[in-house]
Amino acid sequence: MSTSAIGSNTISFTDAVRFFRIVTNSGPCPMCSAVAWTIPVNQMNGPVSLVPSGNNDDSGSPVMELKLSCDVCGYFRSHNATIIRKWISENPADDEPTNG
């Protein structure tokens, strides 16, 4: 896991930004067409805020999501935190990131 990751069940702001810049298409908001997304954090460079999705994984643990908020209309888009953490562990910050 990258040195900027904070614990096994959290995602650092830096790693979240890296993931979204490299892996995802920022794309427009489906509600208002703005391309202005915010990653919610309690403190800059701290862990990002994760929320339960309402679903459980095979072990019965809650599936956590990282939600991005549209800065114009407040629409939320959700990303599975497990997928993000997997990508971070496979693409440490000091290695060349891949999209696969």
pTM listed for this prediction: 0.79
Task: Tell me the pLDDT of the chain averaged across its residues.
Answer: 86
Residue 5 has pLDDT above 80, yes or no: no
74-91 pLDDT, tens digit each: 999 999 999 999 999 999
- Amino acid found at 16: A
Which residues, 6+ apart, have CB-to-CB distance to 64 below 8 Å? 9, 50, 51, 52, 53, 80, 81, 82
Kindly indicate the confidence band of residue 93, based on its pLDDT and cuts at 50, 70 and 90: confident
Residue 34 confidence (pLDDT) above 50: yes
pLDDT (0 to 100) of residue 72: 98
